[in-house]
Amino acid sequence: MGQPRACQIIRSDGFRRSSASGVGKQGERNGRLFLFLVCIVLTPMLMVGCSGMQGGFHDKAAFEEANDLFSQGKYQASLNKYGQMLEKEPTARDRVLFEMGVIYSHPKNEHKDYAKSLDCFQKLITGYPGSDYRPNSEMMVFTINNVIFKDRLIAEQQAQIGVLHQEAKGKENEVATLHQRIMALEQNVLDFATRKRSVDRIVIEKKERRLMLISTGEVLKTYKIALGGNPDGPKERQGDNKTPEGTYVIDGKNKNSQYHQALHVSYPNERDKKRAKELGVSPGGDIMIHGIKAGFSWVGDLQANKDWTKGCIAVTDEEIEEIYKLVSLNTVVEIRP
């Protein structure tokens, strides 16, 4: 006597693989849960074999044909064959209903229908109370209802996640809009400062690698900077690649510098000269706030990632153009450690 396909489903590689099928992690989890519970349900059937099941199977060829269709993944064709057998095999209807219930709920069945599967099992439970398939059908009903509940719960959680994503996207748009407004306001301030030439101090913080334009005590704008290749400590002598520390002024402007545009800093001051004299060295000079060397403007913002000058303060070409417009001769330059 051929074994009912419910038994073969448990043994087949197709069913085992189906536990990892489905869409994403949800399908994988539900497939594994379904496989685990079906194994529990059908273990007694595997132990007793089909000969112990109720009902004689008069048309073995029909069952084998339905089973072959299932094995080939032709689930609808298999269901159609079992549907015909409901009328032709009245003594085996309980088995046919059980087989159809399993196929309808099979994880690899792309058109699985839990409602139809439950309907098959319920008809078996109600219409064949003495069937050997009834206990397993009851367990299958429990299993499928559990899967449906978890599917619904996951769907609700995914919907909530979708809503949260939309809210987060809305917040991102709000932040982006605010950022644009801030940039526009900063530009308005800079434009006003450019017209009024109101920058009265430049503050350079070496440790923080930043240059600030100050107007009447307020910071108009901040720029990232690169310093001399040996940035720690004040400049003491010519060629030490250090950036000075102290108070100076802008005493010159060069619009055609080899470093795009440049503002000359009045280093060395009297304190610097005295220190160099005590050391018996030349204090050096030519300290400037400038852009990027000609031919390398494409480096852009990356120039601030490494201290590369011989003691000067470097910004991008676009930034030096902005600073050049805002800063007048004799503007105070304060260079802090």
CATH of the domain at 285: 2.40.440.10
Phi and psi torsions of 62, nearest 5°: -65, -45
User: Is 106 a residue of the active site?
Assistant: no
| Distance from C-alpha of 225 to C-alpha of 69, rounded to nearest angstrom | 73
% residues pLDDT > 90 (the chain): 58
Which helix (H) or strand (E) segment holds residue 117: the answer is helix 114-127
Q: Angle at which helices 93-104 and 75-88 pack, to 10 degrees?
A: 160
Do 209 and 306 form a contact (C-beta atoms < 8 A)? no
pLDDT, tens digit (0-9, with 9 covering 90-100), for 159-202: 999 888 888 888 888 888 888 888 888 777 777 766 666 789 99
- Give the pLDDT confidence of 275-308 residue by residue, as tens digits: 999 999 999 999 999 999 999 999 999 999 999 9
pTM of the model: 0.48
- Tokens coding 304: 């601030």
- Structural domain including 29 reads 5-156
Q: Report if residue 82 sits inside a domain.
A: yes
- Does some domain include residue 220? yes
Band (21; pLDDT cuts 50, 70, 90): very low
Q: Which residues pair with 125 in a beta bridge?
A: none
- For 161-188, give the DSSP string: HHHHHHHHHHHHHHHHHHHHHHHHHHHH
CA torsion 38-43-46-51 (nearest 10°) is -90
Residue 14 pLDDT greater than 60, yes or no: no
Which is the catalytic residue, given 50, 120, 260, 312? Answer: 312
User: Residue 104 has which token pair?
Assistant: 């309808």
In a domain, 190, yes or no: no
Domain count within the chain: 2
In the residue annotation, 260 being an active-site residue is answered as no
Q: How far apart are CA 170 and CA 184, in angstroms?
A: 21
